[in-house]
Each structure stands twice: as structure tokens, then as C-alpha cells.
Structure 1
Amino acid sequence: MKKMKLVLCLLLVLILAVTTSGCTLESEGPLVTETPASQNIHQQTTVGTFSPENSSIKVSWPQEENPVPPYREEEMAKIVEEAKQEIIRLFPNVEKNTLDNFSWGSQFYGGYRAPAIVFSDVLESSDSDQRILNIKYDPERSTICTYVPNVTNFYLDDEIVISAEEAKERALEFYKNAMGDDYEIHKDNLIVLRDDGEVLNSVFLNMEVYTTYKGVVYNYDHARIVYDMRFDRVRDYLNYQRDPEILSRITTLSPTPDISLDEAKEILEERLKENRSGSKVNIEYCQRYGYYEFPYLQWHDQPYFMDIEGGSVTSPLNLIWELPFTTEDGKMYYGIIDAHTGDIIDVREQS
């Protein structure tokens, strides 16, 4: 009898084990990982272009706000004179005697700073008006990097004297002239993208020249020329383009994405759905704010997302898909997807 009871108990345990092996108890934790879509799609689409061995670098990226100029005193006097000559060459209406108010400061090139000569309260006179300007000159690159008026007065019904197309041509010619030989050397790695959608475009034309590398545009590296169509002249010039040689040293990953544009959109939409507790979010993809057309595939050189430690960049720039989109409530957002790994780097609202 005892043996019979033991056999029955063993049979009962075996039956319970078999019947429960196909069931899963509900978990109190999250049902999905943080980025399940990116992980799954990456596993299906990786083609081997991403090279982990390129993921560690060390490139000097100075952060000091007021760097000490690396010049002897006699050299500095010569450099200042060269800067004044370049300013007069590009802007002949500047009154040279007002260029004596200068100091040494820095130019911010999207994450790193370079020594610059800062000319303050410079007077520019013409037949139409006078204005006060601030100008910066980068002695290492022998170029003007900032030219901005203190104040600009205008009315939307001001009369313009040239068309937008003429202003675009003249803005580009100014940029070529300002860059000098560097333009001819690097012109194949430059792309002109003009601003759009700003009310100021009724009197000003905003042109932006972006840098590319291996056929992919940088998210940030650019120069901006604002052309005043009322007075047929450059109003602002801001050049944030870094030294191309330095940029190439931090752009070492493959320019060929492992994640396609459609897959990147699928990853983003899955994340948005998760954030709404599984409810589908109706979105419409669009262009980057203020542009007719901006490439979706980019090098992610926004300083905030770069790995900068101890004055050096320690990781190469990510290759990304930038996905601007609008929601049903009219708000605009950007989804940033790593084009090699499928990771979601950022989703942020247009500010």
C-alpha cells in the first residue's frame, strides 16, 4: 500500500510539471525593455559595416572660454594688422579707425573654442545708414568668423531693392570670398541649405552652408549668411564650421547605415506607442524646421551629445537618422535614431 501511495504521488507531481511547463506567470515588472524595437530590428538588418574598433578615439577639443593666444607679442601686432586688412577687404564700408577697440577672446566652433581677436563697437557707414558691429577674426585660419550688428531696425513693409534669388547668389559669392582658398579646397564637401518659413524672409534672406563628409551632412557644422535685401548687403555672418582636418579625425565610423530610413521610423513609432501605453500615435513626418530640404542621414556633431572628457573627444560621432515629425496637436518633435545600432538617442520637442 505504501508503495502504491508513493507511485501515485510521483504521478501527480509529473502531471503538474507537464501541465504548467507551457504557462508563464504575469510579471509585476515592465513588459518590454527600454528599446526593444531597436534591438530586434538591429539583429535582423546588421550587415557588418559598423566597426567597434573605431569607437575609441582621443582628439583634442579645447574648452577654455578665454584661451591664451599662442603668439609672441611682436607676432600679435602683425596678426591684428592682418585681421584689420581682412575686415576692410570684405567690408569696405567699415571705418578703419574704429578697429582699434579690440581684445583677445575665443570663437565657439560647436563644442570647442579657438583663440580669436574680438573687435567691438566697429562703425560701418554707407549712403543709407550707419551701424555698430562686433567682429571676430580667427588668426589660425586667417578668416572672419563673426560679423554681427548690435541692433537691426526694420519693418516688414520695407522696400527691397533686389530679389531673393539675387540675394542668394550674392550671399554665396560673399561666402566664397570670405573663405578664400579654403572654399576651392573643400567645395565638394559643402552643401547650401537656405532657411525657410521665417517672417523675416520678407526683407532678409537666410542662407546656411553645411559641411559634409563622405557624402553625409553634419547636423550642426555650418556657416550662416543673412543678406539684407533692402540695402543689398550682408547683414550677419556667423561661421561655426570647424577645421575640416579636426572633423575628419572624429568622423571615423562608416557612412553606410545598418538601419534603413523606414526601419528608423518603425523604431521611433514603436517607442511613441510604448509611451502612450500601447496606443498608436498619429504623426506626420516633415522637414527640419525652417528648411526646404535637409537630409535625414547625418553625422551627429551637436556638442551636447558628443563624448568630451578632459578637453578631448573620446568617441567618434554617431551616424544618425534625424526624423522631424508633427503630432495631431500641431507640436513638432525630432526623433534621433542611431543609424548603425538602432538605438533611440533622443526624442525632443522643437523649441
Structure 2
Amino acid sequence: MKKQQKVISTLLVSLCTILIILTAGCTYNSPNQQENTQVTQTESVTAETTQSVQSGSTQPTVSWKDFYPEYSEYNDQTREELIEEAKDEIMRLFPNVDRSTLNGQWQEHVYTYTSIAYGYPVIVFENADFTSDNFMALQEEMSNGDSSRIQRNLVRIVYDPKSKKVLDFGSYGYSTPPASAERRVTSEEAKEKCLNLIKKVKGEDFVNNEMNDYSIIFTDLEAEDNQGEVIIELEGYPYENVPYLNGGIFVDYNLVLDEVLGYSDYTYDPELLAALTTLSPNPEIKTLEEAKGIFEAKVAERYPGEVDIDYRTDEGFTTNALVWDNIPKNIFSDNPEPFKLVWYLVFNSGNARREAVIDAHTGEITYLRYKDIDIDTYD
């Protein structure tokens, strides 16, 4: 589930998120029809999907392979050239990386820093050295004189050869600094650096256009618990006025190191998402109260009289709301199903944050973990 997927490195935090996405602008527009204009493959697929929806069919007529190249489409020379291009882009964004440690490998079905999956071919750089003077100084401070505890800052980087952008950057060798460690930047300064990194990676066109349709969530872990970090997340991109559950952009910035700890971009191709969003945006289960009733009836069935559910709202995030359930596993399936509309409920159970997902078309509970109730149709 989206909110369970986010794990901040060896740190910490299961963060509520998104995931949306997904996308770098999920608004779906049919290509302009101009006389004597050549139509690309993607444009043809998009037009076909539009016709299917209009004619009443809800089954998608596309797959991710219509939008992203397969591994076999790259020859050996092209693969090597793209690895070098990837290195150049990484050095532009993260100049402290030791280029000599960038050993790119082509992979498919890769998981990111926030555990979101990419099904199309990407280039992965494992154990790249991102060790800065600030990082080593912090390691010295935290080692208590034990040199065996001092380690390099090795990171994992994922690069998309199609968009020519870094998708993922995450540190392996970091632990929460002591409250006494010097903060080199303030939370507000770190917030601006997060936004600047997004602009640098995604480009001004994204910042000036698609980014305006996302919810921007700022989490100050320093103010909350002296953890020396801030997090910026983009989520909730809408389609037909309903947000996607999964996707967006995630940036984790460290105030002590004055550098990024993690970056994840899971904004999939907007036309692919639109082509998979073919069901009616008007569900059978029309209200939040109806969805809660279905969930509470299930709890009462197992635990009679125990229906005083403590629903929670995670500020800035999509909770207790109607959403498109755009799980990555379905996006990259060879036979994708249309995204379902679901009611996404979040509640407290003891000291734990829990979720329930109700299919808004059928009323089926597709995900619920509450005491010994364990429903998961996503496995």
C-alpha cells in the first residue's frame, strides 16, 4: 500500500504518501489533429483509448510497452552511450559523487528509495560514493572513538534513459544524528533546497506547469523530533477531479550534512495513466460515510460492539477520500486492468497507523489489517 511503502533509508519513517502519481502531469489531452501531420505511436494509442472509453468499453487497450521502450530496443552501443549520459547527468545534479564509482547496470522491475517499482528498463548505479567532508565529520562525532563505526556514504541511483532524468537517489550509510550535532542549514533553507532540486531534475517546464496541480507537503522532522531532516513530497495529482493514490516526488534533506539523503520521482507517463483510467468517475459507493459503514460492519462482524474507529487525517495527504488506485504492479502488467475507484481510509489501532481500502464500484474490501483481520487482494 502506498502509505506503507515509504521507508526513509535506515532511518525511520513510514511516511504517509502518495503516491498519486503519478505523474508528471496526469491531465489527459487528445493530440491535436492537423492535416498532413504524422501521428506517433503514442498518439495513435491515445486516440484509440479515447474512442474505447467513449464507446463504453472500460478495458484498457494499451500497455506500458506502448509508452516506454523495452530493453531489447537498445543495442549494446546505445546502452553504453546512455550509461555515460547518465553519469553526466548525475554529476550535474550531485557533484560530490565520485564519478569513478559510477558503475551503471541496465535493469528492469527496479524498486526505489521509497519502494515504488519501475517496470521499464532503467540504469542502476549501486554503491556510488557520495561521501562529503560534512558526512565524515558527522561519522567521527557519532563513532565515539570507534573507527570501525566510520563508513563511507554509499548511494544507489536510478536513471531513466527515456526521459534522461534521475528517478531515484538514496543513501545506504546514514543514521539519525544526535540533537547536539550542528545544523548547517535551517528547516526553511532546506525546504527551498528540496524545491530547487526538483526544479533542477525535472526542469522549469514541469515546475511552471504540472507541479501546480500537485499537493506539496512539507514535513519538518527537525521541529517534530530533532531528527535533523525535512521532507518535501508532491502527491495527489487529479484525474476527472479525483486524485491518484500513488505517486509523485519525494525529497529528504539533511540539515546537519546540508545535502540530500533521498530523492524519488515516481511520476509515470501521464498519457499511460490516462489510458488506464477508463472506469467511470461516478462510483456505486458514493459517500465516505457509506465506505466507513462497510468497513465498520466488517469489524463488527468479527468484534461485535467494537466499532468506535479512530479515523485520522494526515495533514496534506490524501486520506479518507475517493481515489484512483493506480498501483505500479498493475501499470506494468502485460494485461493491465483499469484503475479502480476506491475509498482510502486511514485510522489508528493502538499505537499503529492502519489502512482500509474499499472498492467504490463493488463495495468489496480490498485491503484491511485490523487485529486478526487480514485482507489483502494486492498480493
User: TM (normalized to structure 1)?
Assistant: 0.71
Q: Distance in 1 between matches of 2:332 and 2:162?
A: 22
Residue matched to 2:199: 176
Q: Distance in 2 between matches of 1:82 and 1:234?
A: 22
- Pick the structure with greater CA Rg: 1
| Aligned partner of residue 230 in structure 1, secondary structure | coil
SS of 2:59's partner is coil
Amino acid at match of 2:318: F
Given candidates 148, 151, 154, the residue that maps to 2:170 is 148
Match of 2:121, SS? strand
Match of 2:227 in 1: 202
- Whether the 8 Å CA contact 1:90–1:178 is kept in 2: the answer is yes
Q: Deviation string for 1:55-95 (max 9, x for gaps)?
A: 32243247xxxx73522233223322221111111112222
In the alignment, what sits opposite 2:120? 114
Q: Distance in 1 between matches of 2:98 and 2:135?
A: 13
Deviation at 1:200, TM superposition (A): 6.8
- Does residue 247 in structure 1 map to residue 273 in structure 2? yes
The one-letter code matched in structure 2 to 1:143 is K
* Aligned pairs (5 A) from 1:49-198: 53-61=56-64, 68-99=71-102, 101-106=103-108, 107-108=110-111, 110=116, 112-129=118-135, 131-157=153-179, 158-180=181-203, 181-195=205-219
CA contact (8 A) 2:221 2:227 kept: no
SS of corresponding position for 1:114: coil
Cα distance per residue 1:102-123 (max 9 Å; x no partner): 2211334855511111223322
- What amino acid does structure 2 have at the position aligned with 1:335? A
The answer to whether 1:262 aligns with 2:279 is no
8 Å contact from structure 2 (residues 311, 348) kept in 1: yes
- How far apart, in 2, do the equivalents of 1:120 and 1:326 lie? 37
Distance 1:97 1:307 in 2: 35
Instruction: Tell me what 1:230 maps to.
Output: 256
- 1:320 aligns to 2:320 (yes or no): no
Which of 367, 370, 375 lines up with 1:346 in the alignment? 367
332 and 228 in structure 1: CA distance in 2 versus 1, 3 angstrom threshold: closer
Q: Do the aligned residues in 2 keep the contact of 1:218 with 1:300 (CA within 8 Å)?
A: yes
Conserved? CA contact 1:193–1:294, under 8 Å: no
Task: Indicate if the aligned counterparts of 1:337 and 1:346 stay in contact, CA closer than 8 A.
Answer: yes
Counterpart-to-counterpart distance in 2, 1:262 and 1:140? 43
Query: Separation in 1 of the partners of 2:199 and 2:278?
Result: 28
Q: How far did residue 183 of structure 1 move?
A: 4.2
SS of aligned partner of 1:59: coil
Residue deviations 1:195-239 (CA, integer Å, cap 9, x gap)? 577977621112222251323322221322110111222111122
Aligned 1:13-32 pairs, distance under 5 A: none
Identity over the aligned pairs, expressed in percent?
30
Asked whether the equivalents of residues 60 and 312 of structure 1 are also in contact (C-alpha less than 8 Å), the reply is: yes
3-state secondary structure, aligned to 1:166 = helix
In 1, Cα distance between equivalents of 2:221 and 2:310: 18
What CA deviation, in whole Å up to 9, does each residue of 1:315-349 have, x standing for no partner? 2111111111224x444432212234433222224
Q: Does the aligned pair in 2 maintain the 1:61–1:111 contact within 8 Å?
A: no
Please state if 1:300 is matched with 2:328: no
Counterparts of 1:184 and 1:90, CA distance in 2: 20
Any conservation in 1 of the 2:104–2:124 contact (CA below 8 Å)? yes
Distance, in Å, in 2 between the alignment partners of 1:113 and 1:242 is 11
| CA pair 89-272 structure 1, distance change in 2 beyond 3 A | same
Residue identity in the other structure for 2:162: E
The residue type equivalent to 2:303 in the other structure is R
Tell me the C-alpha RMSD between the 2 structures.
3.2
Q: Residue 220 in 1 paired to residue 243 in 2?
A: no
Going from structure 1 to structure 2, the CA distance change for 1:223 and 1:81 (only over 3 Å counts) comes to same
1:271 to 288, 298, 310: 298
Task: Tell me the SS of whatever aligns to 2:247.
Answer: strand
Gaps of 5+ in 1: 1-49
Runs of 5+ unmatched residues, structure 2: 1-52, 137-152, 375-379
Measured against aligned partners, the alpha-carbon deviations of 1:5-28 in whole angstroms (never above 9, x if no partner) come to xxxxxxxxxxxxxxxxxxxxxxxx
- Structure-1 residue corresponding to 2:377: none
